[in-house]
Structure 1
Amino acid sequence: MHQPVIDTALTQAEIEAELIRSGLNLIGQALSIFDADLRLRVANRQYQAMFDLPDALTRPGTRFEDTIRFLVLRGEYGPQPDPDSAVAFRVEQARAFRPHYFERERADGRWVAVEGAPLSQGGWVTVYTDITDIKQQEALLRARSDALSEQVLHHAERLAAANRKLAATNAALSEAQRILTRTEARTRQVTEMVPAHIAHIDAQFRYTFSNRRLASVFPGAASDIVGKTVEQAHGPETFAMLEPRMRRALAGDAQVFEITHPGSGRRIRIALTPDREGQGVYILSTDVSAEVQAREALAHASRRNLAAQLTSGMAHDFGNLLTIILGLQSRLAARDLPADAAEDVQATLAAARRGVALLEGLSRISAPRDLTAEPTLLSRLLPQLARLARPSLSEGTELQLDLDLPESQVLLDPGALQDSLLNLILNADAAMAGPGRITLSARQNGDWLELTVSDTGPGFTPEALKRATEPFYSTKKGRGTGLGLSMVYDQTKLAGGTLRLDNNPEGGARVTLRLPWRPVAPQMVLLAEDDDAIRAEVRDQLTGLGHSVIEAASLAEARALSDLPGLTLILSDIQLGDGLGHDLAGRGLPLVLMTSLPAGDALRDRADGPVLTKPFPPARLAAALAAATKALP
């Protein structure tokens, strides 16, 4: 999975502006620059501090008149009988600016030296220096010059120099702190934008930094983890998987590996980089579930397409041959044959029929697939499946159910699910080759339905764990087609789920299906469609999904019905006879539109919610309704 590239580099103009700002902040004097329009362009931090100005008067663009008025009203220039005249006088002086230097005593008793110079581009720059200490020293010297010795004067000079140096050092430290704080804020903002968890741990597995994205990668993990250990943040099960790798990284060996998160089933790629200076480890964790599934699906599809290409050329002729063989053998079976000949005919018929079944399986490899989702009560479906499967099991083999499911309907394809589970159960029975126990478990885990078929047989071999879902791979020594698990894999991926093969720690094989948990919430749907035949077809689909339907044959009729109590959703054609379905938006109900217009059409692009392309199967309709309902705040 490619991570988005985030440009964190400053532009040259930003770098230069930052350098200038830092340099001005390091100057001990206050500084301001006003342009020819009497608006502030540049000011350093000492300018604001010296005159105790609010932030609004230090921003670029501030009018000189507003700053002077603030200072006059505050008494900066002493009592003013007419403040407006005092402001106007100073503004006029600024318009006819002349180079100047003067010293004045402020209202608070402090002294400031003001030095101004015009700029060639218009405007002027002014430097303000606090000379209070100098004035006090001058007064002291004038008052007691006869009593001061040369040594006292020398010490006074050294003290003044030390004070100036200390002030400069403080300014430098303050500016460095400002830049560091800003840099840290920028770094945190950038890292929090990355769709991955970035962190640092020390040698005791304690987090010292986190971009607060842990819960988005590891669902259920703590969000505020700085100061906590990895075990505290993830739990003991996940920590047991991470600890060996982290120890190797702490020892200086960089690690890149993938794990399956126990809580969510997500596939997580983790990169550990040793921090040799800090004696810790930098961590980058990324959810690569979609990448892994796409990679597996692509490899699986490639193998399936190859198999289809190899067999499609022979399938037609082979089917014709089987038809002839079945016809001839059926005619022979109808005759009065000797017992041994009749047995041979029946065996030939059985082999031919098995060939027909194999052809059907081959055709299903390359045939287009679609799911027919419908409301299903799993607590009823799975016991029915068990009753169907038990008579086909070997003698002495027991099939147990372990169900922990709510008594509510979910949206799935019951036929495809039954086929997949029955296939897994029969595979488990064949693998045990004798009496044993098969357990079918089902439970809701967050947004997923987890179905597990486990047995007490010998378990999967290492090769089977890698190749069991490949078409034609079989461990039945010529007694199987090798298409069973491949079809289960395809059906599971088509439903948006995952399939996992492993072995039980106590022994035996285990296959886990994870399918999206889509609970069925019966709704009252306003169906707006001006074609009677299409409206009847969509109405049947909606009622088949368990929803109630109110029908409208026009936009005007739909508008009149849209405020009926109990309505929960509107399903409308985009182009109705008297207007557009878009106009039904904004009525406080989720809106799903349907159309035959192709993708990219302007009317489709105007839609804010789901758009169904006609014709559509019930599964696609159900998914669109669920998406629209879920999108509501």
Structure 2
Amino acid sequence: MAHSAPDTGLLTRAEIRADLTRSGLNLIGQALSIFDADLRLAVANTQYQSMFDLPDALTQPGASFEDTIRYLVLRGEYGAQDDTDAAVALRVDQARTFQPHYFERERANGQWIAVEGAPLSQGGWVTVYTDITRIKQQEALLRARSDALSEQVLLNAESLAAANRELAATNAALQEAQRVLTRTEARTRQVTEMVPAHIAHMDAQFRYTFSNRRLPVVFPGAADNIVGMTLHEALGAPTCAALQPWVARALAGDPQVFEITHPSSGRRIRIALTPDRDGNGVYVLSTDVSAEVQAREALAHAAKRNLAAQLTSGMAHDFGNLLTIILGLQARLAARDLDAEAAEDVHATLAAARRGAALLDRLARISGGREAALEPTDLPALLAELAVLARPSLAEGNVLDLRIDLPEAPLLLDPGALQDSLLNLILNADAATPPPGLITLDARRSGDWLELVVGDTGPGFSPEALSRATEPFFTTKKGQGSGLGLSMVYDETKMVGGTLRLTNGPTGAQVTLRLPWRPVTRRMVLLVEDDDLIRAQVRDQLTGLGHAVIEASSLAEARALTDLPGLGLILSDIQLGDGLGLDLGTALPVVLMTSLPPGARLRDRATVPVLTKPFTPARLAAALDEATRETS
């Protein structure tokens, strides 16, 4: 009965390709089978079934290798077996640890076959069976008629024929291995280029011979294709000078792990240098650990703040009550008609009590928590006001010089904390500078940072002060200082994502504050919130940050407003009365807000910044800034 051609119009492209593959395999002269890593049949051609006379069930994809072997053993394929289970188990175990092989064997029916097997990179193996019965018969005939030929020539001919067949099998295995190796090398390179670290090899002449092209991720501004470049050419003179001694020791055979600060970006970089085994250079692994270092420093200072809290918590309440009583009594005395000497003593006592109250407040700020209060700030005006506050307190003969190089646009800063920090640094510099001296405050932009440097013409920091100055209670003002000033500055700076660095400059001490550069971009914000009271509160926060606000109380109303000219950002609740803020579907920057805790399923669907209600204006400003950066 004739069979009609299959209707390929009803088949998928994958099914058509599979049919073509099966047809091609059925046309080759050898029997072929492929088993996967689970010892299940993946592919077999018709020659495989006919050569071993296998039932249909054992030639279908998914057929068990163990069932196939058991069928062949029971049928006598491998000769008489004393223990069928042991014979099956032996061949199954060999399959689990499959090794490339080639051998020739005579079957029970007298047929000779060459068996050639090779493992696959995806798991499993492929086996090709070739009928070599005629070749063996010709060899036997040649031997039977070998009166005129020497025994040695016959042996050599047979050996050569077998060797040729084995060589062909080996060549095929080598070609497959080369293909797998090439693909593996490409995958390895792709993986290394996805790693957020720089991986490289450098020879004895400090020249890069390999790079995963991730150098700019770790060292901003560096080239990505540095193979063939020297260390100096790739990273510049300052960084090269810092790295060269370490690389030299690694080239001498001594592995190195160290950290440096990248001069231009301020990032903290950890570098591991491993000598290669052939002595021809070093392998380099460079990682940005700025966040780790900041976290480590924050933990150390948090531990010290906890200690400060433990030391003060037991007495702060009672001491505060005593100060309240003292201040009240002295205020009553000051209101009386006292002689000049007594009045002076009363005023001195009041001043000392107020200083004690201020000290308690500063201790509370060290040991307690506080959030940054970011708001649009005119920094030049803030610094001018700071100078007015600080100059009357300077020692006679000392001068404060402001050097401001900043654009006029406002910045997102915590003005109160920043002014307190800078005033503290200026007064510290004044105390360390013998008159006549100069105290400078430089304010400038440095890349993505606002850099504020307070310098003086004093003797500079001692080695102990350089390493311990930010610790709570450490002071060089014996009997006068509280030791809390620089610790407070450090905490205020870290709280807004900045860094503090103490150095000795050419003329004296220098303290450098680096704060994230957050320019204020006034935007038109679409506020979407179905609760009237919450919407009013958030609107006030947005206008306080300098933004114009358009309000919507539902998802439908918001969708009708998303194409307004000039609209720059959307702030929406996740759960609205008529839908989800997640489904706004706009190309504009979006910030979501919710009372759901982190980890909630609905909240985890968000791919944009999410604010947890209630939130401070500082957190709102930071989220708006993050959303705008992600879409810019």
TM-score by length of 1: 0.73
CA distance in 2, matches of 1:118, 1:346: 108
Instruction: Report the CA distance shift for 1:293/1:562 in structure 2 as closer, same or farther (over 3 A).
Output: same
Match of 1:368 in 2: 369
Unaligned runs of 5+ in 2: 1-13, 30-44, 53-111, 117-125, 133-149
Match of 2:438 in 1: 437
CA distance in 2, matches of 1:60, 1:247: 58
Match of 2:447 in 1: 446
- Residues 302-345 of structure 1 deviation map (CA, whole Å, 9 limit, x = unaligned): 11111111111111111222222223333333444444333333
Q: How does 1:2-13 map to 2 (within 5 A)?
A: none
Instruction: Report the CA distance shift for 1:468/1:577 in structure 2 as closer, same or farther (over 3 A).
Output: same
CA distance in 2, matches of 1:446, 1:299: 28
CA distance in 1, matches of 2:171, 2:353: 95
Displacement of 1:621: 0.9
Is the CA contact (8 Å cut-off) linking 1:202 and 1:278 kept in structure 2? no
Match of 1:552 in 2: 552
Match of 1:597 in 2: 596
What SS does the aligned partner of 1:63 have?
helix
The residue type equivalent to 2:513 in the other structure is L
**21, 34, 51: which one pairs with 1:63?**
21
What SS does the aligned partner of 2:623 have?
helix
Whether 1:532 aligns to 2:532 is: yes
Displacement of 1:606: 3.2
Instruction: Report the CA distance shift for 1:69/1:612 in structure 2 as closer, same or farther (over 3 A).
Output: same
- Residues 546-577 of structure 1 deviation map (CA, whole Å, 9 limit, x = unaligned): 11111122333223222322222221223333
Is the CA contact (8 Å cut-off) linking 2:114 and 2:131 kept in structure 1? no
- Residues 90-116 of structure 1 deviation map (CA, whole Å, 9 limit, x = unaligned): xx99698469xxxxxxxxxxxxxxx98
CA distance in 2, matches of 1:398, 1:247: 47
Match of 2:515 in 1: 515
Match of 1:626 in 2: 625
Is the CA contact (8 Å cut-off) linking 2:527 and 2:571 kept in structure 1? yes
Instruction: Report the CA distance shift for 1:188/1:349 in structure 2 as closer, same or farther (over 3 A).
Output: same
Match of 1:617 in 2: 616
| Greater CA drift, 596-605 or 435-444 | 596-605
- Residues 41-78 of structure 1 deviation map (CA, whole Å, 9 limit, x = unaligned): xxxxxxxxxxxxxxx9xx9985342568999xxxxxxx
Instruction: Report the CA distance shift for 1:602/1:283 in structure 2 as closer, same or farther (over 3 A).
Output: closer
Match of 2:107 in 1: none
Instruction: Report the CA distance shift for 1:375/1:335 in structure 2 as closer, same or farther (over 3 A).
Output: closer
Instruction: Report the CA distance shift for 1:69/1:481 in structure 2 as closer, same or farther (over 3 A).
Output: same
Is the CA contact (8 Å cut-off) linking 1:98 and 1:117 kept in structure 2? no
The number of aligned residues is 520
What SS does the aligned partner of 2:560 have?
helix
Unaligned runs of 5+ in 1: 1-55, 72-91, 100-114, 130-149
Is the CA contact (8 Å cut-off) linking 1:252 and 1:276 kept in structure 2? no
Displacement of 1:277: 2.2
- Residues 367-388 of structure 1 deviation map (CA, whole Å, 9 limit, x = unaligned): 3301221122323333332333
CA distance in 1, matches of 2:49, 2:243: 73
TM-score by length of 2: 0.73
What SS does the aligned partner of 1:195 have?
coil
CA distance in 2, matches of 1:98, 1:363: 89
Tell me which stretches of 4 or more aligned residues in structure 1 moved more than 6 Å: 67-71, 115-119, 163-173
| Greater CA drift, 319-328 or 414-423 | 319-328
| Greater CA drift, 299-308 or 609-618 | 609-618
- Residues 436-460 of structure 1 deviation map (CA, whole Å, 9 limit, x = unaligned): 2222222222322222112221111
CA distance in 1, matches of 2:250, 2:24: 61
Is the CA contact (8 Å cut-off) linking 1:116 and 1:125 kept in structure 2? no
Instruction: Report the CA distance shift for 1:203/1:60 in structure 2 as closer, same or farther (over 3 A).
Output: farther
Q: How does 1:350-429 map to 2 (within 5 A)?
A: 350-429=351-430
The residue type equivalent to 2:261 in the other structure is T
Displacement of 1:489: 0.8
Instruction: Report the CA distance shift for 1:274/1:557 in structure 2 as closer, same or farther (over 3 A).
Output: closer
Instruction: Report the CA distance shift for 1:563/1:187 in structure 2 as closer, same or farther (over 3 A).
Output: closer
Instruction: Report the CA distance shift for 1:326/1:255 in structure 2 as closer, same or farther (over 3 A).
Output: same
- Residues 154-184 of structure 1 deviation map (CA, whole Å, 9 limit, x = unaligned): 9xx9xx99x9699899878766755653453
Instruction: Report the CA distance shift for 1:70/1:591 in structure 2 as closer, same or farther (over 3 A).
Output: farther
CA distance in 2, matches of 1:97, 1:576: 68
Is the CA contact (8 Å cut-off) linking 1:117 and 1:124 kept in structure 2? no
CA distance in 1, matches of 2:430, 2:220: 36
Instruction: Report the CA distance shift for 1:195/1:558 in structure 2 as closer, same or farther (over 3 A).
Output: closer
Displacement of 1:514: 1.5
CA distance in 1, matches of 2:127, 2:605: 55
The residue type equivalent to 2:591 in the other structure is V
Is the CA contact (8 Å cut-off) linking 2:26 and 2:47 kept in structure 1? no
Is the CA contact (8 Å cut-off) linking 2:115 and 2:130 kept in structure 1? no
- Residues 189-212 of structure 1 deviation map (CA, whole Å, 9 limit, x = unaligned): 443343322222112111112222
CA distance in 2, matches of 1:291, 1:462: 25
Match of 1:103 in 2: none
The residue type equivalent to 1:541 in the other structure is Q
CA distance in 1, matches of 2:406, 2:349: 47
CA distance in 2, matches of 1:400, 1:346: 33
CA distance in 1, matches of 2:623, 2:327: 47
Instruction: Report the CA distance shift for 1:303/1:173 in structure 2 as closer, same or farther (over 3 A).
Output: same
Match of 2:145 in 1: none
Instruction: Report the CA distance shift for 1:118/1:398 in structure 2 as closer, same or farther (over 3 A).
Output: closer
Displacement of 1:600: 3.3
- Residues 468-496 of structure 1 deviation map (CA, whole Å, 9 limit, x = unaligned): 11112111122221111111111111101
* Percent pairwise identity: 72
Q: How does 1:208-607 map to 2 (within 5 A)?
A: 208-275=209-276, 277-504=278-505, 506-583=506-583, 585-607=584-606
What SS does the aligned partner of 2:487 have?
helix
